[in-house]
Structure 1
Amino acid sequence: MLRGFYTAASGMMANQRMQETLSNNMSNAYTPGYKADQGTMRAFPKLLIEQMGTKSIPGSQGLNLPVQNEVGSLNTGVYLQEAVPAFTQGDIKETGISTDLALVQRSVPDADGFVFFNVQNETGEQRYTRNGNFTVDGDGFLTTNQGYYVLDQDGAPIQTGGMEFEVSAGGDLSVDGQAIPLGLSYSSNVQDMIKEGSGLYRLEEEANAPVDIRTNPDINFEIQQGFLENSNVDPARTMTEMMNTYRSFEMNQRVLKAYDQSMQKAVTEIGRLR
């Protein structure tokens, strides 16, 4: 009975975590460049049940031989193993704002390859983002909405001096006739990237570092100024998944309640002294 109790409880916990993941996706449905998380459920290792006994052999010596009969396997519950971002290109929308940049990925040599903007976080470390909703701070540097510096090809903050600049399709930012290559990186295995919050990604330890996008001629991309990449979250699909997850949570809750009532009956009635 207790095993079934914990199995139902694990299902509730897994569905609760899945609901949190879906809720986070829904809340970022209109965040530029956001990549939806996809939760993956996994079962705990199964238990193999066997019947163990002995079998008497007729004879003068009365031999007893061990016997094992396989009964079957028993599942002990599920858990949410991880939430993996779905790196697919979001829709492009026009904003008409010069600091908005959309990174459009046409074709790449690797199936799991993806292209990112290079930015600098608050501790001065290089990070990666798909959110091109940039702005210019009071010192004339191109930054993200969180105030992180947008980096050039050499890893230095970009000084624009104001909102008047142009960005070519190849990723060159022009200010007063001077071309500054934007810092753009390509990761051949995007699953090595880990979400860090505020639209930033960092590289998993011991993974291959993203390379400059211009070093590989097979990477076909385009920068569109005055445009933004929308989130790839599908609100209608996400709402449907949230409803299904909630129903699954309720089902496990009812099973848990039934086990609780059975345990209460065993304690108060079956175990009653007469």
Structure 2
Amino acid sequence: MSSLDTFDVVIPAYNSREQVSNAVSSAFAAGADRVIVVDDGSTDDTAEVARRAGAEVVSQKNAGAAAARRSGLQSVAADHVIMLDADDQLVPEGVATSRESLADDPELSAVGGSAIGVFADGREAPVVANDRTPSLQSLLSQGFAPVPPACIVWRTDLLKRALFEAEPEPLLPRYAEDYEMMVRAAMQGPLRFHTDPAAIYSLEGGKSMQDPRRSIRSVAHTRQYYSQHIGISVPRWSQRQVEARAALRLYKNATAWPQRIRYLSKAFANDPRSMASLGLKRLSRKFR
């Protein structure tokens, strides 16, 4: 990796005073040149805590994570950038692997590692991309981002082009905004993933777990919007398929077996064919 390859970290934060300091510290520990915290209209002292931790702070009215990431990205001048949520942390070794791969192949728009998923009770579960080189078509067909955004190092110029210049106009959804970001980045260049842990990821703190149905509906709209733009056909999800995917998301993140069995049963009842094709036996072994 060239000594000229710099990287910044952007952290959207809303009422995150308890978590943001650890996120900022982990970014600097991973080698970040700058850490930019976008205070998304917090009503607590998130901004001051972030400044004390060494971050630069950009303040805005509450507009959601997608808008906060865009705002922070506009301040980035480094070669590479990571979008880190305030309740997550970076793992230096995995970040270094991603940066080296990105520096070695100028055609790539992003490289990501795996995540160490952490439940509220402290239980851990790996989050690993099943497809190491997903295509734009596979992202739209499958309807999910391979790993959380914190795991990914983006090439700054291509990400800026993807979010600010490329057609069509971005949707900027309140839910599943990381999925749209990945789709738009894949339109600019290939993505690559490896298995080294690059982030510690909170499995229960995000909007996708607080309201999985709304998150899945957002993904459904996003995949139709972009598939129509690039001229490929992906099947629309029915309401039952949305319910099944929402139940599957709850299943993967539940801690108690009675809950997991209930969610798994609901997923199968709503869409048995799709759930079988998603490999629930493998998922069950992975999260046991």
TM-score, reference length from structure 2: 0.23
TM-score, reference length from structure 1: 0.24
Q: Which has the higher helix share?
A: 2
Q: Which has the higher strand share?
A: 1
Which has the higher Rg, Structure 1 or Structure 2? 1
Higher relative contact order (CA 8 A, sep 6+): 1
